[in-house]
Amino acid sequence: MNYQDDLSAAFSEKEGFLEFLDGIEERGCWRVFPTNEIQVFSLAESPELCREVEAEREGADILQDTRANTGLLLKVGEEHYPLGATAIKTLENRARISGYALQDLGRGKLARVLNDCLEVTKGNALVRIHEGKARAVHGGGKSDYAVLPMPELFEASAIHMEEQYERVRFLSGYFDHWLVTASWEIQDSRLLDTYRDMLLQYGQVAEPELSAQIKVHSSDVGVSGANIFYSLLMGKERKPLVLGDALRVEHSGGASLADFSRNLSQVFARYREAVEGLSGLFSEYLTYPANVIARVMKKAGIGVGLTAKTAELFRAGHGFGGCNGYEVYCGICECIFLAQSEGAGIRALTDLEEKVSRCLAFPFKEYDIPGEVRY
């Protein structure tokens, strides 16, 4: 089993990726149980329960990994499951408590606090169990968490890509217990010519090496909806140009795979709309572009160090003169390539791309202010 809380797996072949997800799903389950009957135990204070878990397949190894992380067990019905690191946030949400102080409590005290709160929480809990641990504790009501099975979601994505676009290549798949992602590279003149034609209107020529990229992200533990991101990959270095906010299906309110499939069917139209929307940036002249980059990235919540490097890289390449909003946005997108070059992980890059996509919603002109930027 892939029980380690820090496990991650990368795939270059679609078949291996989907087969891996099938295995996770076959060994996993979802359990609905009254929230006020769920209990949390500290491993250190529950030696008898630990012996029960150790008797299971790979139980000793799973307990060792749990001791190094949460140090907790979750009782669901008559079963006791080691608590995975991904479950902490959802368990606290289900118990209706939060705060940094919880991280500083000893495991025994934290278990007692959670139990006191769970005992007075009404309704059912939906517990995700896979690879030997409880991985999430969601609300179990009809309007609460909606399960979108990973194998079906990513299989539907793969079929859609291959059926709808001219030339499609599976780029990569990724799994950890927090997030699952897959990306496809697409060569389709209907998409790429929209971008090329837009640039020609403003006297520019697209990079000879140009392709589209579609990414799908999802999670069983509440860190992501079933989201579809779209971007362009430009030049020999394949630098990404993010084309706006993702198409999203949140895991709530009775969401289904049919909702996700409808979003897949909208990607082509959204791609074209997003590219056409970039044209408005050409008419926006900015006098202090490096300052705009720094202030917009700060507003989007991008880290100080990466923001400073991105702004200085732009200034080094463009000098101190002005430029249009499109050039500024391309400069902001450079931060993704910088983060990749510095070895950022998949989850960090996913979070960064989300933040970059928000930058298009900010009025660049309002951030076009002279003076030194304080990072």
The answer to whether residues 132 and 249 belong to one domain is no
In a domain, 218, yes or no: yes
In a domain, 24, yes or no: no
Q: How far is CA 134 from CA 48, 129, 301, 335, 343, in A?
A: 19, 4, 31, 36, 30
For the chain, the domain total comes to 3
In a domain, 13, yes or no: no
In a domain, 335, yes or no: yes
The answer to whether residues 168 and 270 belong to one domain is yes
The answer to whether residues 246 and 309 belong to one domain is no
User: Which pLDDT score, from 0 to 100, does residue 253 have?
Assistant: 86
User: Which pLDDT score, from 0 to 100, does residue 103 have?
Assistant: 87
In a domain, 19, yes or no: no
The answer to whether residues 307 and 366 belong to one domain is yes
User: Which pLDDT score, from 0 to 100, does residue 375 have?
Assistant: 67
* Pick from 122, 129, 173: nearest CA to 147: 129
In a domain, 96, yes or no: yes
The answer to whether residues 132 and 201 belong to one domain is no
The answer to whether residues 366 and 333 belong to one domain is yes
Q: How far apart are CA 136 and CA 132, in angstroms?
A: 13
* Residues in CB range of 217: below 8 A, 6 or more apart: 179, 180, 181, 224, 226, 227, 229, 246, 350
In a domain, 57, yes or no: yes
The answer to whether residues 109 and 175 belong to one domain is no
Q: Report, as ranges of residue numbers, the positions in the chain whose pLDDT lies below 50.
A: none
In the predicted model, what is the mean pLDDT of the chain?
Answer: 94
Residue where the block lists tokens 């951030």: 367
Element (H, E) at 264: helix 257-278
Q: Domain of 190?
A: 146-278
The answer to whether residues 316 and 296 belong to one domain is yes
Question: Residue 84 gets which letter from DSSP?
Answer: P
Q: How far is CA 293 from the centre of its chain?
A: 24
The answer to whether residues 160 and 273 belong to one domain is yes
The answer to whether residues 38 and 128 belong to one domain is yes
State the maximum Cα–Cα separation within the chain, in Å, rounded to a whole number. 74
Q: How far apart are CA 300 and CA 322, in angstroms?
A: 22
| pTM given for the model | 0.91
Residue where the block lists tokens 């007692």: 112
Q: How far apart are CA 146 and CA 140, in angstroms?
A: 9
The answer to whether residues 157 and 257 belong to one domain is yes
User: Which pLDDT score, from 0 to 100, does residue 44 have?
Assistant: 94
* Final residue belonging to a domain, choices 222, 249, 278: 278
Query: Kind of pairing, strands 285-286 and 323-324?
Result: antiparallel
* Final residue belonging to a domain, choices 139, 157, 177: 139
Q: What whole-number percentage of the chain has pLDDT above 70?
A: 100
The answer to whether residues 274 and 288 belong to one domain is no
* Final residue belonging to a domain, choices 278, 295, 310: 278
